[in-house]
A = this chain, B = another copy of it.
Amino acid sequence: MDNFIFNAYTKIYFGKGMIKNLPEAIEVHGKNVLLVYGGGSIKRNGIYDEVKTLLSECKIIELSGVDPNPRIETVREGVRLCKEHQIDVILAAGGGSVIDCAKVIGAGYYYDGDAWDLVVEPNKITKVLPIVTILTLAATGSEMNKNAVISNMAINEKLGTGSMNMIPQASILDPEYLYTLPAIQTAAGTADIMSHIFENYFKKEEDTFIQNKLAEGLLETCIKYCPIALKEPENYEARANLMWASTLALNGLVGAGKPGSWTCHPIEHELSAFYDITHGIGLAIVTPRWMRHILNEQTVGKFVAYAKNVWHLPEMTDPFAYANAAIDATEEFFKNCGIPMTFSEIGINEEHFEVMAEKAVRIGGLGEAYVPLTKEDVMSILNMCL
C-alpha cells in the first residue's frame, strides 16, 4: 500500500428534503452567490424555486446553460461574473458538469491569466472560492472531490484538472432529485461510477485488500440498484444507494494507496473531445473491450476476483473462462441498462482513431496504467468498439 493523503472534507447533507440546510451551508461564506446550472431541469423539478426561497436574503447572480461537457468559454463567463459581482460563494446545482464548471470558475476568480491555464496546469490553482453543490445526477463524484474536467472544443481538448482547494465545502444529496432523470442518464451515470471504481480496482498493488473490498461493495451496489432505478424511477432505496455510491466511488477511498494512471477515462476523454458524446456511454463502450485487451497471465487473477466477489459467478476451473465470463457480464449489464454498446450506434467511425489514440497515451499517461498501453494498443481497443 503506497503512502497517501486522504482529505474528503465536504460536509454531506444526504436525504429527502435536506435542501433545507442550504442557508446554513451557503451563508457561512457570505451573501453574494453565483448560481451555476445547466439546461433548465432545475426549473422543471422545483430546485430553482426552492433555492430562491431559501436564499431570499442573498444576492444571487445566475450562470445557466452549462453544457454536459462544460466549455472553457462558460468558465470564463463565470469568472467575469464573480469578479464583477464580488461573489462570496458558488452554488452549483446540477450534475458533474455543472459542478466541474463551478470549481474552475472558483479557481479562476483568484487567477489573473486565462482560466484555460488552470486546466492545463493544475499547479497554478492556489485559492478557490467556496463551492457548495446540489447534486442532480449520480455519476461523477465531483460533489466530494478535487477534480474537474473542462472541454476546449476549439482545439478538440477535454482535460482533467484538480486541486485540494476545489473540493466542495458542502454538498446536498437528495435521492428524490434523481426520480425525473431520463433513463439513459441513470444508466450512463452508473457506467461512470463503475468506471471510477474499475480504474482504481485494476491497479498493480497486491496489498490493498481493504480498498479492494470497498471497491467490490460499491460495484455490487451499482449492479444491484441501476436496473431497479431504471424499472422504478421513484424507488428511493435504489436512488439513495446509487447516489451515495457515486460519491464514495471517487472521493479518494477506493484509490487510496494505489497510484498509477487510469485507462478508460483518458481514452473516453478523446471520444468526447472529438464527438461530444455522453461521458458514461463512451466509458461503457470502451470498458469491456479494454478488459478483453488486457486479460493475460499477469492480470487473470484480478479478473477471477472480480468474477467471484463482484458478479458471484459460479466458479470455473479455467481462470480465463471465468475472467471472460465476468467481462461478458459487464458488457451484458451495460447493454441491459439500455446503453448503446458500439461506436456505430453513436456515430463514431475510425476517422480520428490514430490522433485520439496518440493523445490518450500522451496526455493520459497510459504508459503508467495497470497494463501499460501504447498507441497501437489503444487503436486496437477502439477498433473493437466499432
Contacts and interface: CB of A to CB of B under 8 A. Distances in A.
A13 interface: yes
B15 A4 contact: yes
A95 to B, nearest CB: 20
B1 A18 contact: no
B5 A12 contact: yes
Contacts of A207: 236-237, 240-241
Given A210-B221, A216-B217, A241-B210, A14 B4 contact: yes
A11 interface: yes
A17 B245 CA distance: 32
B210 A248 contact: yes
28 contacts: A1-B237, A1-B240, A3-B14, A3-B15, A3-B16, A4-B14, A5-B11, A6-B12, A7-B9, A7-B10, A7-B11, A9-B9, A14-B257, A208-B241, A209-B224, A209-B225, A210-B221, A210-B241, A210-B244, A213-B216, A213-B217, A213-B218, A213-B220, A213-B221, A214-B214, A216-B217, A240-B257, A244-B256
A311 to B, nearest CB: 14
A209 B11 contact: no
Interface residues of A, number: 41
A2 interface: yes
Interface string A9-51: 1111111111000000000000000000000000000000000
Nearest to A247: B6
Interface string A203-231: 00001111001101110110011000000
A384 interface: no
A386 interface: no
A248 to B, nearest CB: 7
A153 interface: no
A79 to B, nearest CB: 27
A5 B11 CA distance: 7
A8 interface: yes
A121 to B, nearest CB: 23
